[in-house]
Amino acid sequence: MNDPTQLPIPTQPRPDRTVHVVSLGCPKNLVDTQLMMGRLVEGGFSPTADAESADVLLVNTCAFIESSKTESIDAILELADVKARNPNARLVVAGCLSQRHAPDLRESMPEVDYFIGTGEYQKLGDLLDLPTPLAALSAPALGDRKPRPQYIADHLHPRYVPPDSFTSYLKIAEGCSQGCAFCIIPKLRGVQRSRTIDDLVREARALVDAGVLELNLVAQDLTHYGEDLGDSDMLAKLIRRLGQVDGLQWVRLMYAYPHNFTDGLIDAMAETHNCLPYVDMPLQHASDRVLAKMNRRTSRLEMETLLTKMRARIDGLVVRTTLLVGHPGETEADFEQLAEFVQAQRFHRVGCFAFSQEEGTASARMPDQLPTAVKRYRANRIMEIQRPISASHMAELVGQTLDVVVEGLSDETDLLLQGRYYGQAPEIDGVLYINDAPDDIGRGQMRRVEITESHDYDLVGHVVA
């Protein structure tokens, strides 16, 4: 690799050495999977969808809540069955489940060859006896990088992004230092470690050179990016620098917590041409009493003030939020405050989750745990409140002509194409179905689409000249 910012390309493809991967969990986990795949591809492996013939079986797990742990264990057992039919294959289990439960898993799953924690992805090459990383041979370390107590990949680490990718995630930091009472992430990922702006811009340019036109910025805690490097407004500076990357058309903010959402960041969003008027901001609750028990560093008034300021400053702002109901001690009055908050704020998108009592968290040890039925009822009710609000936002777009990135054939039918306008993040916000598409339209193109029909979360339209 002569260019240290180049995405990994196998220099000597070996179809006889293949890897089958299962990636679970959030987009941040997907980036980790692509980093592990990058090391394997650099070492001569080829990705394959056929698990039965693979030389390496890799599953990157999630352990955020109980349902994700169950899904991860099921995926491991499924690949263990594959390995039983192909004893020469090596089974690697990586990610949050390994980080949290590796000792127990080693006893119960002897068929797994290697368990890799969340800060050990760089060791994969040694475990599988891969050649020395090409990046280590050809590229010096960044002069402005500071030593880190825990590993975090930079732009020199090869990353496998499928060759037809037009959208990608850019992980700007690892870990979290906030200490929310219900969250296990700091124990799984460590304290926050931010990458430098120069490092991220180099990776962004490499991704754009490889065909990516949309970057979604992710971290466990986006808005505190840079605080560990002594700069509390570093995210605003990063956005402005990404605005100078030729060919990068869309930049989107995901996992942007309300605390430390600075005026400088709002200005950067409003003034940077390729930064979308979209923010994914997990607010969790609206009762100050519950927010305090959750150890959130904000209040309802502060959140309302921030949202008002953002909507006034950023034209066409789309806000997605995540809420958590059923936290220990949440009363009916607390929940009604949250329901009223959702009605009043009229978010474009809401994801609502029932509290999961996760071992190792402060919330799991609190008294006044709520019955499962109550938690599920409250989560369902929030989504019932939100559905007509989302539908109303969609209906307002009918008759407008929007820039849309084309994703390819619809997941629902081969008779339609689908895409997304700026207010729809990949995989979580619904899609835009494209009728009567011209023959020359293709995956990864940006087209103008007139919206002709709306549904609760999806849109329908046709391409205009």
The pair of structure tokens assigned to 205 is: 């340019």
The dihedral region occupied by 118, where left means phi > 0, alpha psi between -120 and 50, and beta the remainder, is alpha
66 SS3 class: helix
SS3 273: coil
The sign one gets for the Cα dihedral 250, 251, 255, 258 is negative
The pLDDT score that the predictor gives to residue 132 is: 60
Closest by Cα among 369, 339, 344, 345 to 357: 369
Residue corresponding to tokens 């941040």: 28
Contact between 245 and 208 under an 8 Å Cβ cutoff? The reply is yes
Q: Which fold has domain 401-463?
A: OB fold (Dihydrolipoamide Acetyltransferase, E2P) (2.40.50)
How many whole angstroms separate alpha carbon 424 and alpha carbon 348?
10
Question: What pLDDT is stored for residue 150 in this prediction?
Answer: 62
pLDDT of residue 146: 38
What is the separation of C-alpha 122 from the centre of its chain, rounded to a whole number of angstroms?
A: 21
The Cα–Cα gap between 388 and 395 comes to 10
Contact 159, 140 (CB under 8 A): no
List per-residue pLDDT tens for the chain, 465 residues long.
333 344 543 334 455 689 999 998 888 889 888 988 988 888 888 999 999 999 999 999 887 777 888 889 999 999 999 999 998 999 999 888 888 887 888 888 889 999 888 877 777 877 887 766 544 433 333 333 333 336 678 888 888 888 889 999 999 999 888 889 999 888 888 889 999 999 999 999 999 999 999 999 999 999 999 999 999 999 999 999 999 999 999 999 999 999 999 999 999 999 999 999 999 999 999 999 999 999 999 999 999 999 999 999 999 999 999 999 999 999 999 999 999 999 999 999 999 999 999 888 999 999 999 999 999 999 999 999 999 999 999 999 999 999 999 998 888 877 889 999 999 999 899 999 998 888 788 888 999 999 999 999 999 999 997
What's the DSSP call for residue 284? Answer: B
Where do the domains of the chain lie? 18-127, 149-395, 401-463
At 99 the pLDDT is 82
For domain 18-127, the CATH architecture is: 3-Layer(aba) Sandwich (3.40)
At residue 168, the pLDDT reads 95
Residue 200 CB contacts under 8 Å (≥ 6 apart), including other chains: 155, 170, 172, 238, 242
The encoded tokens of residue 456 equal: 């609760």
Calculate helix-pair angle for 300-313, 263-271, nearest 10 degrees.
Answer: 30
Q: Where are the alpha helices (DSSP H) in 314-371?
A: 332-345
The candidate with the shortest Cα–Cα distance to 98, out of 109, 83, 87, is: 109
What does DSSP assign to residue 439?
T
CATH architecture designation of domain 149-395? Alpha-Beta Horseshoe (3.80)
